Amino acid sequence: MNAQNENFVIVIPARKNSKRLKDKNFKDFHGFPLFEWSLAAGLFLKNQLSDSRKISVICSSDDDRILDLVKKKYSSHVYTVQRDPKLSDSQAVLSDVIIDCIYRLADKQDISLDDYLGGSFILLQPTSPIRLKNDLVNFCRQIKNMGDHLSLVSVNEDYDKIKDIYQIENYKKVNSNFSIGHIGKKLLSRQDIAKNSNTAFVDGSLYLGFISMLKEKGFMPEAKTLAFPLSVDCSMDIDTEDEFKDALISIEKLQDLGIEYVKPAL
């Protein structure tokens, strides 16, 4: 199986409720709702990956404001899916959300099940809005070099919190921003991290995998998931007000340095 030959669904899951940061996905982030930054990344990836294959960008939400904005601004480029309440709470499994998108759009005859159930997915979490253009271009190139791996996830080696930290196995530096190894076990304490020389934060910016294996293997199949290192100094997964403010500061730094990142169009 080779991801470079597969059809793709690019899914942005933007639900309404948030426990720690109220109304997070619709919160203004540098002039646009937070979730819209991931829509922009999805459309950028679609443009990079488009050739003879079929690629659909999908926003799944239970928030009418989010769905209305997508329909108004992106109607010809992004599909919307009204998410079922049972897939909208904090316990919802994102693999179910992705598969639900495909079936719902097929029911409306917007897409064909045959085109996508045997294809690949890219998941873009709206809580990781900062994605550099160079990283996204290199991520698309890495898709062509998956080997026998089943999944590809973005990681950052620069972190300070014990949150979604994993061991990186078969670690090997390369002369590009391509994969450095594959995802190993999750590390739960600073003591565990100290025992491992090669670790990284799985940041939520980019997940790629095969839809047919999603339910069985999950997002990061053991020993079969490549780690894709991001070039941004410190990526994040926004859960709190402080993390939201830190992300805004990061945007300002990128602007000052003249580093290109993907942002929504006006």
CATH number at residue 120: 3.90.550.10
Per-residue pLDDT at 227: 93
Residue 196 lies in a domain: no
Residue 113 lies in a domain: yes
Residue 134 lies in a domain: yes
The DSSP call for residue 237 is -
Q: How many domains does the chain have?
A: 1
Residue 264 lies in a domain: no
Per-residue pLDDT at 9: 95
Per-residue pLDDT at 52: 67
Amino acid in position 32: F
The beta strand positions in the chain, using DSSP E, are: 8-13, 28-29, 32-33, 55-61, 78-82, 120-123, 151-156, 165-169, 181-187, 199-210, 225-229
Q: Print burial letters for 159-178: b (CB count within 10 Å at least 16), e (below 16).
A: beeeeebbbbbebeeeeebe
Contact 229/159 with Cβ under 8 angstroms?
no
Please list the residues that pair with 196 across neighbouring strands: none
pLDDT < 50 regions, the chain: 1
Per-residue pLDDT at 123: 97
Per-residue pLDDT at 177: 57
Residue 101 lies in a domain: yes
Per-residue pLDDT at 4: 55
Residue 21 lies in a domain: yes
Where in the sequence is the domain holding 46, given as residue range(s)?
7-147+204-216+238-257
